[in-house]
Amino acid sequence: MLRAAGIGVGDEVVVPAFGNVEVAEAVVLAGALPVFADIDPVTYCLDAAAVDAVVGPRTAAVVVVHRFGRLADVPRVRGIGQRRGLLVLEQGESEVPYDEVARRRERAAYLDAKLKGVLTPDGGDGHTYQQYVVRVPGNGRPDRDAFAWALRHKGVECRVPVKTPVHRLPAYRRCVALPETERAADETLALPVDAALTKRDMQRVVAACNALGGLLQPAF
């Protein structure tokens, strides 16, 4: 899409650093330079104000990535694009069948009600829960990593959704301030919410998580 739009050498494209490196790679393959903007701490998608702040004279496009089943604030980003003369592209996630989304939402609602000591995801804007991503607050040490290790030891599958932000990878290293991106990379953990999980599975996830509450400070 970037090449088809005429994006190339000398152009800059605003992209998120929280997520897979493929978006930045696509910009480079088109001959342009990726410029990283910070994310919204609730949706984990590009923050419109942060996008506006990094737009410069060479900026030609913005790539908005929907994340974890939450939609980015595309209308606001498109408004910036219209005002600043930028192409706005979207990268979606794989479609999930409606009946599976409904079951995922049921399991997410159960976790929302039962989990303690972690910050549960905001379910607004039609969240489809491609991943159920919580935040594990830190106490000056990598509590998220200790929490994840303990869960796996109890037989609960979990994963760190973004281990290293793209702007910290050697090939894309930038000296930029992206505090929400880095905080999210340090604190987020994806818990199981697949439609195939039984009630007993969900109870086991909750019991394992809540038993670790002593590791954490309260989530605000």
CA gap 23, 15 in Å, rounded: 7
Closest Cα to residue 21, out of 8, 36, 6, 43?
A: 36
Closest Cα to residue 132, out of 147, 146, 118?
A: 118
The residues with which 89 forms a beta bridge, in sequence order, are 63
Binning pLDDT at 50, 70 and 90, where does residue 47 land?
Answer: very high
Burial classification of residue 155, based on how many CB atoms lie within 10 Å of its CB (0-12 exposed, 13-18 middle, 19 or more buried): exposed
pLDDT digits (tens, 9 = 90+) for 178-192: 999 999 999 999 999
CA gap 148, 182 in Å, rounded: 18
Residue in the structure block whose two tokens are 């049921």: 106
pLDDT digits (tens, 9 = 90+) for 108-152: 999 999 998 899 999 887 899 999 999 997 755 558 999 999 999
Number of alpha helices (DSSP H) and beta strands (DSSP E) in the chain: 7, 6
| Exposure of 147 in the CB half-sphere (CA atoms within 13 A) | 32
Whole-number pLDDT of residue 95:
85
Binning pLDDT at 50, 70 and 90, where does residue 220 land?
Answer: very low
Binning pLDDT at 50, 70 and 90, where does residue 219 land?
Answer: very low
Among residues of the chain, what percentage have pLDDT more than 70? Answer: 94
pLDDT at 54 over 90: yes
Q: Is 113 left (phi over 0), alpha (psi -120 to 50) or beta?
A: alpha
CA gap 151, 149 in Å, rounded: 6
pLDDT digits (tens, 9 = 90+) for 71-120: 999 999 999 999 999 999 999 888 888 899 999 999 999 999 999 889 99
Rounded mean pLDDT of 194-205? 95
CA gap 157, 220 in Å, rounded: 25
Dig out the tokens for 124 from the structure: 């607004």
pLDDT at 8 over 80: yes
DSSP codes, 83-120: HHT-EEEEE------HHHHHHHHHHHHHHHHH--SSBP
Query: Which one-letter amino acid corresponds to residue 21?
Result: V
Angle formed by the axes of helices 98-114 and 199-210, nearest 10°: 40
